[in-house]
A and B are shown apart, each in its own frame.
Chain A
Amino acid sequence: MAEPAVSALDQVTRVASRDHAAAGLLDGQILRRGAISSVVFIYLGAILLGPLAAMGVELAHVGVLDALRSLLAPDALFALRTSLVLTTIAVVVNAVVGTLGAIAVVRQRFLGRALVNALADLPLAISPVMIGLAFILLFGREGWLSALVTATGIKVVFAWTGLLIATLFVTLPFTLREVAYVLEEIGTSEEEAAATLGAGPWQIFFRVTLPNIRFALGYGLLMTLARSLGEFGAVLVLGGSISGQTQTATTFIHAAIEERQTGSAYGMALLLALTSVLLLSSLEWAKRRKKVK
C-alpha cells in the first residue's frame, strides 16, 4: 500500500511547485497572449481592417454624395439594373434548384447521384476566367453548341444570356450545399412522422421539410446574392463588358478604372461594399439560426 501514498505525495509537491511558479507562469501567459494577439491584429489590419478604413477615408475625400451621384449616369444605371436582374434570376433559380437538388442528392437513390453531388460542388473550385472561357468554347463560333445559337438566334457570347449562364454557374453550389448539409443532419424521422400522421408529399414538404431547411436555404440564397452581385471574371470574359449592353456593376467599375473615371468607380464600389456589409450582417444572423438544434 506504499505506492499510492508516494504518488499522492508526488502530486502534492507538483501542485505546490506549480503554485510556486504561478507568478512566473502568469507573466509568460500574458506575454504569449500579447504576442499571438499582436500577430493576428497586424495580419487582420494589413489585409482587412486597413484596406476597409482606407476605402472609407478615400470616399470621405472624394465625397460620398458625389460618388453616389455619379451612379445616375445612364450607363451606370444600366449596369446596376443588369446586375439586379441577374441576381434576382439567380436567387429564384437557385432557390428551386438548390432545394430540389439537395433533396434528390440526400434523400433519394438514383443513377448518377454521386456524379451530381460532385458536379454541384465544382464551380467553387474553378477560376471564373476559365468558366468564361469554357462557355465561349461551348457557344462560340466553333463551339459544340454554335448550331443551337444559330438555330435559336439566342446569342450567348458577349450577350445578356452569357451573363446569366455565367452567374448561374458560379452560384450553383451555395444553396444546394447548405440545404444538403442540413437535410443530412436532420434525418428523415420528422418526415416519416408526418407521413404516419397522414400528411401527403406536398404537405410533408411545405410543413416539415421546408421549415427545417429555411435558415440554411436563406443562408445559401444570401451567398448566392453576394456572389452574383460580385461576380467579375466570368461575366467579364463571357459578357465582354460592353457599356450599355453587357456591363454589370463589377465590370462597370473595371471599365471606369481603366478609363480613369475614379469618381464613378468609387461610387459603384461604395454601393457594392455597403450592400455586402448589409449582406454580411444578414449572413451572420442566418448562420446563427441555421444550426441544427
Chain B
Amino acid sequence: MHIRVEHLCKRFGSFAAVDDVSFDVEDGSLVALLGPSGSGKSTLLRILAGLESADSGNVWFDDEPATDLHARMRGVGFVFQHYALFRHLTVEQNVGFGLSVRGVSKEATAKKVKELLQLTGLAGLEQRFPSQLSGGQRQRVALARALAPEPKLLLLDEPFGAVDAKVREELRQWLRRLHDEVGVTSIFVTHDQEEAFAVSDRVLVVHRGRIEQNGAPMEILDSPATEFVARFVGEVNVFPAVVRAGVAQAGKLEVRVQGEHGPGESHLVIRAYDLKLWREEPGIATVQRVVTFGDRVRVQALVDGAGPIIAQFPRRSSLLKGVEPGCRVQIDVTTARAYPAQASSLYPLPAT
C-alpha cells in the first residue's frame, strides 16, 4: 500500500509532538523512522495507526483518505513496543484474535494461525501464555498477531527495544527476511541508527516533530542534510569554523568541505572514520589517548587552536605505527561537511 502523509500536526498542550510532517512511503517498502526519544516518531506512528488523532493534516492510504478512519477500519497491523499481548490468551488465541473478531470461521483461523506460527518459528508454543515466553518469542507472537488479518500496512514501535543485544541482531535479520517474504509495506520506529540502516530501504530522520531528512540509508550516511542528521548517524567531530572558497578553517585544521558554506560562522562536521592521522613532526595535533576496542582503535588528539578530535582506525592499520599519547600527528580529512552555525543553539557542542 502506498502511504502519503501531508502536513500532519499534533500538539500535546504546548508541546508540538508532530510538526507539519509530510512524506510518502512506496508500496512494499520497509521504512525506518529514526530519531531520539521524544522526537515525535512514536506519535507519528500512532497517528498512522489511528490510535491518536491528528490536529491537522491528512493521511492517504492508496489515495484513499484515511485521516478520520477508525483504528479498527484501517487494516493496519501494529506491533507495540512492549508487545501488548493479551495476557489471558494463549499464543494461538493471540495470533487468531484479529481473525476471530472479524468473524472468520474457526477452520480458516486455525489454518492461518498455523501458517503464521510456522513462518515466525513459533510452532510448538501454541498453548503457552505470554508470561511463559521469552522476550524474543513474545516479539514474534506480536508480529504474527499483527500479520494474521493480512494488513496492508505494518507498523512497529521500537520492535527490538525490549530484547537483549544478541537476540536483537537475530530479530533484525529475521524481520528483513520476513518483510521480503511477505512483502507488506512496513514502517518501524527506532532510536538506534544501526538498526535503521541495517534493516530498512528508506530512513526518515525525525527530530523535534519534524522530518530532518528522508532518504536511502546510503544517502543519509553520505550526505546528511542537516547538522542534526550528521551528528545523529555515527560518531562525529564538530568544530566552529570559517569557510572560504570551499575550505573550512578550524585552528590549524584546514579541510575542503561539501554542503552549505555561505559567508560567516559555520560548523565543520567530520566523521570519526573520515579522517586519517599519522605520526609527524611538527604536525598539527597532540595525541591524548589511544583506546583499543575489538577490531577498532580510537585515537583522541588535541588539534592546535581547535580542540579535541576523535579518529577511528582498523586495529591493524599501518598509520597507527608510533602513535601514542603525547606524540605529534598530522591530520588528513577525507570527507567533511559544513553547516550554518545558527543551528548550534539547537544542538549544543558535545562536552569535551
A197 → chain B, closest Cβ, in Å? 4
Provide the residues of chain A in CB contact with B49, threshold 8 Å.
196
B12 to chain A, nearest CB (A): 13
| Min CB–CB distance A195 → chain B (angstroms) | 4
- Give chain B residues whose Cβ lies under 8 Å from the Cβ of A192: 51, 71, 78, 80, 84
Closest to B148 in A: A197
Candidate in A196, A198, A211, A212 with the most chain B CB atoms within 10 angstroms: A196
Chain A proximity mask over B65-78: 1 for CB below 8 Å, otherwise 0:
00000111111111
CB distance from A189 to the nearest CB of B (A): 4
Residue pair A198, B131 in contact (C-beta under 8 Å): no
Majority secondary structure of chain B interface residues (helix, strand, loop or mixed): loop
Partner of B80, one of A189, A203, A207, A208: A189
Can you list 19 pairs linking A and B with CB atoms under 8 Å apart? A192-B71, A192-B80, A192-B84, A193-B84, A193-B145, A195-B70, A196-B50, A196-B146, A197-B149, A198-B72, A198-B98, A198-B102, A200-B72, A203-B101, A211-B86, A211-B89, A212-B87, A212-B88, A293-B87
Please tell me if A199 contacts chain B, counting CB pairs below 8 Å: yes
Please tell me if B82 contacts chain A, counting CB pairs below 8 Å.
yes
| Chain B neighbourhood of A198, CB < 8 A | 72-73, 75, 98, 101-102, 149
Asked whether A193 and B102 contact (CB < 8 A) given A198-B149, A212-B87, A212-B88, the answer is no
Judging by beta carbons under 8 Å apart, are A194 and B101 in contact?
yes
Complex Cα distance, B143 from A197, in Å, reads 12
User: B188 at the A/B interface (Cβ < 8 Å)?
Assistant: no
Q: How many whole Å from A186's CB to the nearest CB in chain B?
A: 8
Please, how many residues of chain B have a CB less than 8 angstroms from a CB on the other chain? 29
Q: Please tell me if the beta carbons of A195 and B97 are within 8 angstroms of each other in the complex.
A: no
Could you tell me the distance between the alpha carbons of A13 and B49 in the complex, rounded to whole angstroms?
65
Task: Determine how close the nearest CB of chain B comes to the CB of A265; give it in whole angstroms.
Answer: 45
Given contacts A189-B84, A212-B87, contact A196 B77 (CB under 8 A): yes
Contact of B97 among A194, A200, A293 (CB under 8 A): A194
Interface residues of A in 212-262 (CB under 8 A from B): 212
Q: Which residue of the partner chain B has the closest CB to A211?
A: B88
B97 to chain A: closest CB distance in Å? 5
* A189 and B82 within 8 A (CB): yes
A184 within 8 A of B: no
**B51 CB contacts on chain A under 8 angstroms:** 192, 195-196
Q: How far is the CB of B249 from chain A (nearest CB, A)?
A: 47
- A193-B80 CB under 8 A given contacts A208-B86, A212-B87, A293-B131: yes
Task: Let me know if B72 and A193 touch, CB within 8 A.
Answer: no
A190 within 8 A of B: yes
A200 to B145, CA, bound (A): 17
Instruction: Please provide the chain A residues from 155 to 207 with a CB less than 8 Å away from any CB of chain B in the complex.
Output: 189-190, 192-200, 203, 207
- Find chain A residues with CB under 8 A from B145 CB: 193, 197
With contacts A203-B101, A293-B131 known, is A196 near B88, CB below 8 A? Answer: no
A190 and B72: CB pair below 8 A? no
Contact present for B101 and A196 (CB under 8 Å): no
Query: Do B50 and A190 touch (CB < 8 A)?
Result: no
Q: How far is the CB of A211 from chain B (nearest CB, A)?
A: 4
Q: Which residues of B have CB within 8 Å of A207?
A: 97, 101
In the complex, which residues 101-120 of chain B have their Cβ closer than 8 Å to any Cβ of chain A?
101-102
In the assembled complex, the CB of B68 is this many whole angstroms from the nearest CB of chain A, namely: 15
Expressed in whole angstroms, the minimum distance between the Cβ of A111 and any Cβ of chain B is 18
Query: Residue of A at shortest CB range from B73?
Result: A198
Cβ B101 vs Cβ A190 within 8 A = no
Residues of A within 8 A of B74 (CB): 196
